[in-house]
């Protein structure tokens, strides 16, 4: 497993950061949060639309079985099974993704 190999080569007390979209994340919410945050230029809005389009392609691949995204509990189990400790999970990306920080 990749995470076990990363654990093996990580220096003692080293930290790892792993991210995963939540299963069935609402990526349009990320776009709405970005647009609502403050006044945006047309260029920023165009870039946000490109991001949303790219994210939509990733979500399509998820439904086709190319990717698997993990919820918080699954991430904790995966990290524990890979021998990591001090596992902390934070929500990010408009509450549509998880960020895991763990220590060797």
Where residue 31 falls (left for φ over 0; alpha for ψ -120 to 50; beta otherwise) is alpha
Report CA-CA distances (Å) from 82 to 16, 39, 75, 93: 12, 44, 11, 25
24: Cβ contacts below 8 Å, ≥ 6 apart = none
What CATH number does the domain located at 1-25+69-104 have?
3.40.50.150
10-36 per-position pLDDT tens digit:
999 999 999 998 988 887 777 777 777
Helices (H), 1-71: 2-9, 27-37, 42-63
Q: Is the pLDDT of residue 48 over 70?
A: yes
């Amino acid at each position: 497993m990749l995470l076990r190999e990363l654990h093996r080569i990580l220096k003692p007390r080293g930290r790892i950061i792993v991210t995963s979209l939540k299963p069935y994340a609402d990526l349009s919410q990320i776009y709405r949060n970005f647009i609502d945050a403050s006044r945006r230029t047309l260029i920023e809005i165009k870039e946000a639309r490109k991001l949303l389009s790219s994210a939509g392609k990733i979500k399509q691949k998820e439904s086709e079985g190319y990717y698997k995204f993990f919820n918080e509990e699954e991430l904790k189990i995966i990290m524990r099974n890979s021998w990591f400790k001090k596992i902390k999970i934070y929500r990010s990306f408009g509450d549509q993704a998880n960020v895991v920080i763990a220590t060797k």
